[in-house]
Amino acid sequence: MDNLRVAKVDNVTLDRLLPPSSPSSSSSPIPTSLRQSGTLHLTPHHLIFSPSSSAEGDTGEIWISYPAITLLTRLPQTFGGKYPLQIRTRGFDSYVLTFERAMEGGAEDVWLSVKDCAVAISVEQLYAFFYTLPTPAVSSGSTISTSSHTSPLDVGGIPHPPSASSSSGWSTFSPRLEFARQGVGSRTKAWRFTDINKDYSFSPTYPAKMVVPSRISDSTLSYAGKYRSKGRIPALTYLHWANQASMTRSSQPMVGLKNARSAQDERLVECIFSSHQFLDTAYTASSSTPTPNPLTSSTSTPVYGATSTNLIVDARPTANAMANVAIGAGTENMENYKSAKKAYLGIDNIHVMRNSLKVISEALRDAEAPSIGSSTQSGAPPLDRSLLRKSNWLKHVSAILEGSLLIIRNIHLNASHVLVHCSDGWDRTAQLCAVAQICLDPYYRTLDGFKVLVEKDWLAFGHKFLDRSGHLSSEKLFTVTDAPDEDSDEEGGGGGVGAQKVAQAFFASVQNQFKKGDTHLKEVSPVFHQFLDCVRQIQRQFPDRFEYNEQYLLDIYTDLYSCKFGTFLFNNERERRVAPDASQAGSLPYVERTVSAWEWYDRPEVRRGYINSTYDASLDDPKNRGEGADQGVLMFDPRDVRWWFRLFRRGDEEMNGPSPSFQAQAQGQPQTSGVGVGADMVFVNPGQVDPVSAQGVAEGLAGRGEGFVTGPGVQGSRGPSPVPGRKAVNPALNGVSGKGTYRGIESTSSAFSLQTAGHPTPNPDLSSSSQFPSAGGWGWNQFSSGAYSALSRGAREIRTIGEGAYNQIRAEVGETQETGGAGTGIGEGRPGGAAAPAGRGVRMPSEANPWSLPSSAGGGGTGAGPSSSALQGDMPIQPAPGGEPKLPAGKQASAEQSERELEAAMGGDSRAWDPLGAA
């Protein structure tokens, strides 16, 4: 209470936006503003607003926890003499509190009190250490027993761990019970538990109980731990019920510039990828008498050759992995791991994700600014979806889903093992492993299974909840935007107010040099938020396959930042289980001083509200062989992503809008396909050059931007960057991720993008390329001066590519026009991938996009640009006797004009190409 300057303020006006009343509400498609008067109470952990009278849409008291505040701004005084404060929360709520006075229990005292209480220096100051569960209301016949709950896997005969006898939610996850349910020790003996980290000295961020291959001793593990960042060795997180394929996770290897290697780490990975061959005993192959498997009606005899696509999944872009080599880390050298292939998923780091969410918050703030405080029950202005697209949030979510789908297919369809890691193995690795397990095992789609999954893959394996959620807050989140004093001048006139402000600013800057920096703000990132978003995307595609509903995910997100429970409060298992001061008598671990969130969610009256009414457990029966049966494994569409509008407190149509394909059909425009949507994946086969290695970097520089083409059919070959829309020729990739097509990339994070075919037209929020038509005229009248400036800058940037790249483009287009074939983009039509002779002319009409090239002369391509025949009025290109392809005489003048325009667009004379007449 020492930090509170005021505990109660009367006559406070609250302005806020009410989200649409229901997800399907047609009467309230957008939020509406609401103004209420009441009393504001301040506690050491909450702001509580009690309205004096109820209003339509009123939900009673409003509790705002201090850690959930993302920005508290003291606004300038209003014309009516009021003093407003604006509060923005991590739940995407915005409130404006208006006070009658500034000091003496007014806006200034409230602002300072909240700032002092929110900026905590220790986790023990948070609300979880003071919160106790309320006494449950006892009513006859209303209890729901968690132990008698039937989940979908009971139908298929997959064993379940018994419910914990203790009522504490901290006993939700038991490593022995959960891995025994997966088959460790019962259906296979190739895995064992190790106590090498029982005192957390081996790896402070790993769980005390780990599962490793039985053929690996603890002595080998101790040496292998030195080769992995922070000792996070490859450890088992999931064993598939159908084929004994494993999912393991780790951190990056410490390769460095010297290309270091570890024989123990290589042996550990080799034993993981061969664990299916040692089911009955750890040291000899399976006996001649096979063990029947009741789930698959087969035997445990290994199917030789079924694990030919073992994968080491690096979630990072190749550029990020390359940067880590310079600091002594990096990625595996596949010459030392010959039993596997590698895939770079191209998922961006925590800083990119934090900035992406920041752009979303700014878009929501711009839509709220004109409405909050303007009038009562007025409608909010429409949300600008173009600002949302700039965040690339849906693209990031799609990248995580696509990487998870790669893991799912490799485990379930290819019966192969997967090792997943990023840099430290506690952010992107947790996202990929958890999302993949939800789709592979129906148990994790139940209420009991989901909390086990979160405890195992997020809490036990050391996701940094405290750092990523920013629970300790910072003074930077408390700002002042008071209006400047117009009576004062720069020389300190007006009573010296200006000089006083200058002096205050100077002393504040000096003081900040001696204060501890807010470095923890750089660790904040919506990693767990993205995981919940991914689960919601899958839940929306399969609404009858989840026992829990959307509200369950929303409440978990709310409690992530409420700091009411100890579940989402610490960085690793060691911080939860070990007393902070073991030498001091009476010091208790944090699990005994805080309440688990699962203890609250398991209460009958609470659990009842999370049951999905459309849930059908029979659909997950692995013995079902009927039409449309999937054995309980969900193969979702990673490109079918939409904004989670309920989480962002907006309307569905407001954020997602109508379907882009319907709009294109209604306007008679050709539908465009997304380019570069999802993860930028790069595959590296054994024996091939890794683009992250020193040799790969050297070859990449020598190749001047040409992409690596990997696969058994083209090992060691190089060619031009794959053309969008052309079929992949790598049979290994088809086995891993189905029939795919190479698509262009939007960034330089990897050599090429791998996208699965057969998906519907993507959401336009995923890629800005879908906003422009792929054929026909440009429609210059739709561009503003700002757009024209952007095009001009783009033309100048294209010129920096260099004459060599420009000549190569001309040569490739000229060869395509000469041969008339639709190549594969991997050196097709040129033996050995040799370049065509330079000097081929580029003939393009003036109405076409000067930057788009025809995909093929004879059609058959699916690129973003129009075909040659469409651009030239179905007039074929006739090769001249001298070898130079020329147009018919009637088109010659137009072709020469088009070539001049193209050269001008590439940075030449601007007067030759000036569609807007600006020259």
From the annotation, which residues make up the binding site for substrate?
349-350, 422-428
Give the up-direction half-sphere exposure of residue 230: CA atoms within 13 A in the CB hemisphere: 18
Dig out the tokens for 233 from the structure.
Answer: 């060795």
Q: What are phi and psi of 72, to 5 degrees?
A: -125, 110
74: region left, alpha or beta (phi > 0 left; psi from -120 to 50 alpha): beta
CA distance 570 to 55: 39
**Under a CB-based contact definition with an 8 Å cutoff, are residues 92 and 70 in contact?**
no
CA distance 189 to 178: 15
At 174 the three-state DSSP class reads coil
Contacts of 731 (CB under 8 A, 6+ apart): 711, 712, 713
The one-character DSSP state at 565 is S
The one-character DSSP state at 42 is E
704: region left, alpha or beta (phi > 0 left; psi from -120 to 50 alpha): left
Q: Where are the beta strands (DSSP E) in 536-597?
A: none
CA distances from 136 to 63, 275, 452 (A): 21, 48, 24
Dig out the tokens for 648 from the structure.
Answer: 């962002």
Known binding-site residues equal: 349-350, 422-428
Dig out the tokens for 689 from the structure.
Answer: 């050059």
Dig out the tokens for 909 from the structure.
Answer: 């004379």
CA angle 742, 744, 745 (to 5 degrees): 120
CA distance 239 to 441: 10
Dig out the tokens for 586 from the structure.
Answer: 């009476």
Helix axes 393-412, 350-368, angle to 10 degrees: 140
Helix, strand, coil percentages, rounded to 5, for the chain = 35, 10, 50
CA angle 548, 549, 555 (to 5 degrees): 95
Secondary structure (DSSP) of 73-102: EEPPPPTTS-EEEEEEETTS-EEEEEES-S
Give the residue numbers annotated as catalytic, written as ranges: 422
CA distance 284 to 278: 6
CA distances from 492 to 76, 487, 826 (A): 22, 10, 71
End-to-end alpha carbon distance in the chain: 68
Nearest to 689 by CA among 706, 672, 666: 706
Secondary structure (DSSP) of 353-397: HHHHHHHHHHHHHHHHTTTTTT-TTPBPPPP-HHHHHHHTHHHHH
CA distance 464 to 466: 6
At 756 the three-state DSSP class reads strand
